[in-house]
Structure 1
Amino acid sequence: MERPLVCVGALVWGPGGRVLLVRTTKWRGLWGVPGGKVEWGESLEAAVRRELAEEVGLTLRDVRYAQTQEAVLSPEFHKPAHMLLVDFFAATDQQTVTPNEEIAEWAWVPLAQAPAYPLNTVTRTLVALAAQEARA
């Protein structure tokens, strides 16, 4: 029997106060944040640190929980999947992105400009939450 996949991702602020957006091969050309599946026995925070290191070569600091979402058979995803997405906010002192094969493009952008990118739905809600917190 198939079960939902638990995944993590992070909206990361880099030097200069910009956030990292990536276009991956898995979201049909849409932009999002780096992340991936949680491994057996791995904490959510350990998973997000590992995934960001693997996908974009960044070391995170100030990792904090942002929200939990679900994507159930999203037409934006490249194959049928039921994902529980645990999102984080984080920072890095690094500017240089070292992409793996999943990352097609990336950009450091001011948070206010992020909604202008063709974001996947789950990233759009994460960016909106970050903007709401910035205004508070």
Structure 2
Amino acid sequence: MDFPRGVEVIVSALIVSPDEEVLLIRQPKWGDLWTPPGGHVEPGETLAEAAWREAVEETGLELAPDGLVRWGEIIDPDGRSRPVHFVFFDFAFRARGKALDLDTSEVSEACWVPFGELARYEIEPDFQASIERYLGALTG
């Protein structure tokens, strides 16, 4: 198998609004699936800093950190757009508002989804597991 960049470290930001909604976005690299904002870790950044930076760059939101939710691996030799082996870290953040200023070069669509309506969205399975874990901790 040819993985062009080898193993890649990525981060995601599970963002919850003041109205208890989760922000979901669509990015061309994930096809039609919904995901939280996120991306690669830059040299010199901590994982949490990278998640915060990626979220702010993609959404324009003011965010407060709420901790690490989950980590794991995605190994997909067929790839959505290329073969991948990701080691991922999903962090939670609280948004101070809901007004989005999307980076349209990265994000094709975004929406705030009430907790009870998340099942209506086709969310990338690994991100879905992180969202469920986080919401379970909030409500459980």
Q: Which runs of 5+ in 2 are unaligned?
A: none
Equivalent position amino acid for 1:103 in 2: V
> Does the CA-based 8 Å contact 1:13-1:91 persist in structure 2?
yes
The yes-or-no answer on 1:133 pairing with 2:137 is: yes
Equivalent of residue 9 in structure 1, options 3, 8, 12? 12
Q: What residue ranges of structure 1 are gaps of 5+ in the alignment?
A: none
Matched, 1:25 2:34: no
Residues 93-123 of structure 1 deviation map (CA, whole Å, 9 limit, x = unaligned): 1211111112111111112211220111111
Report matched runs for 1:50-129 at 5 Å.
50-73=53-76, 77-100=80-103, 101-129=105-133
Percent identity between the aligned chains? 29
Segments ≥4 residues shifted beyond 4 Å = none
Say if 1:49 and 1:59, in contact at 8 Å, map to a contact too: no
Tell me the number of residue pairs that the alignment of Structure 1 and Structure 2 aligns.
136
Q: Structure 2 CA distance, aligned partners of 1:83 and 1:124?
A: 16
The TM-score with structure 2 as length reference comes to 0.89
For each residue in 1:23-75, what CA deviation from the matched residue of structure 2 results, as whole angstroms up to 9, or x when unmatched?
Answer: 11111111010000001111011101110111111221033100102111165
